[in-house]
Structure 1
Amino acid sequence: MEHDYTSQVVWTGNRGEGTSGYRSYDRTWNIAVPGKAVVPCSNDPLLGGDPAKMNPEDLLLSALSACHMLWYLHFASDAGIVVTAYEDTPVATGDVAAGGAGRFVSATLRPRIKVLPGTDMEKAAALHERIHDVCFIARSVNFPVSYDPAFEIVG
């Protein structure tokens, strides 16, 4: 079943001269999806972007992590594994060619997951390996994604 996603990207970096020169405009924009909060963005700080704003690389890595998390929680619920907290600090490695073209070459998701006593830890860890087969974002990227989960028993 196909379905569409929509977004509106609006450039906000015109300082009054448009793109009359390479340094005459800001690389800033807003992402607006109907009914949702506007997300102000900028390009990568390595390219002069605003480090306080999300950039495309941040957004892609965050989307990959969030998709993985949502599937993990779903699979855990189905498996009878009670997750009480989930936090991820993913890291991705990028490569920039001499001409400036860049790409991600790998990503590692590093979720820290809290579970209840009595949890089958082997089963909890194995759930991660199933996610790449179903996660919309993971199935859409062309670089390897690995997982380095850590679990904490709470309660």
Structure 2
Amino acid sequence: MRNLHEYKIGITWKGSIDVSKNYRYDKTYELEFENKPNIVGSADATFHGDKDLYNPEEMLLSALASCYMMSFFYLCSKQKIKIDSYYDSPVGFLKVNPNGSGQFEKVMLQPVIKTSCKDTVLLYELFSKAEDYCFIARSCNFIIKHNPIIN
């Protein structure tokens, strides 16, 4: 029997439509989470959204980078390795097709990891292995590269 977990959110469109401008939609929405603050988002400004709000592409990068980090921490904990600090600045590359559709083609994770562990070979192996444990990475259909700096 599989161990299946269920996740739920609410999403409400908060925008409007301007029929005088060829049915241009305001793409503002609000994400609702049980017992957590809501998040207001929009399309990326490139796609006629609000540049001051979170967009789905940023949230996908956030989900991937944070899940990958937690998977790495899980593997480190099994080896009793203490991580002192971790900072990542992931970059995603989105291709827009001529018909207006698109997809992420690649994401580059670039964490800077500080630890007193001297076995850098093991740390690089654990970071690479984290992709096999990261729920989000395992669900993506694009290339995920990583270039950790461990010191």
**Fold-level similarity (TM above 0.5):** yes
Q: Report if the CA contact (8 A) 1:110-1:147 is conserved.
A: yes
Deviation (angstroms), 1:19: 5.9
Other-structure match for 1:22: 23
More helix by share: 2
Give the 5 Å matches for 1:40-55.
Answer: 40-55=40-55
| DSSP 3-state at the match of 1:137 | helix
**Following the alignment from structure 1 to structure 2, what is the Cα–Cα distance between the partners of residues 114 and 99?**
44
Query: In structure 2, what residue type is equivalent to 1:108?
Result: M
Deviation (angstroms), 1:80: 2.3
| DSSP 3-state at the match of 2:36 | coil
Following superposition, which runs of at least 4 residues in structure 1 exceed 3 angstroms of deviation?
Answer: 18-21
Other-structure match for 1:129: 128
**Following the alignment from structure 1 to structure 2, what is the Cα–Cα distance between the partners of residues 3 and 124?**
30
Query: In structure 1, what residue type is equivalent to 2:143?
Result: P
Deviation (angstroms), 1:55: 0.6
Other-structure match for 2:7: 5
**Following the alignment from structure 1 to structure 2, what is the Cα–Cα distance between the partners of residues 65 and 139?**
12
Query: Alpha-carbon deviations, 1:7-33, whole Å to 9, x = none?
Result: 00011112xxx464523x410001111
Percentage of pairs with the same residue? 34
| DSSP 3-state at the match of 2:37 | coil
| DSSP 3-state at the match of 1:142 | coil
Query: In structure 1, what residue type is equivalent to 2:139?
Result: S
**Following the alignment from structure 1 to structure 2, what is the Cα–Cα distance between the partners of residues 146 and 36?**
32
Deviation (angstroms), 1:119: 2.3
CA root-mean-square deviation: 1.3
Deviation (angstroms), 1:81: 1.8
Deviation (angstroms), 1:50: 1.4
Query: In structure 2, what residue type is equivalent to 1:22?
Result: Y
| Length, aligned pairs only | 147
| DSSP 3-state at the match of 2:64 | helix
1:72 maps onto 2:72 in alignment: yes
Query: Alpha-carbon deviations, 1:48-82, whole Å to 9, x = none?
Result: 21122111111111100000000111111221221
- Structure 1 gap segments, 5+ residues each: none
**Following the alignment from structure 1 to structure 2, what is the Cα–Cα distance between the partners of residues 143 and 134?**
16
**Following the alignment from structure 1 to structure 2, what is the Cα–Cα distance between the partners of residues 69 and 138?**
11
Other-structure match for 1:115: 115
Deviates more, 1:28-37 or 1:127-136: 127-136
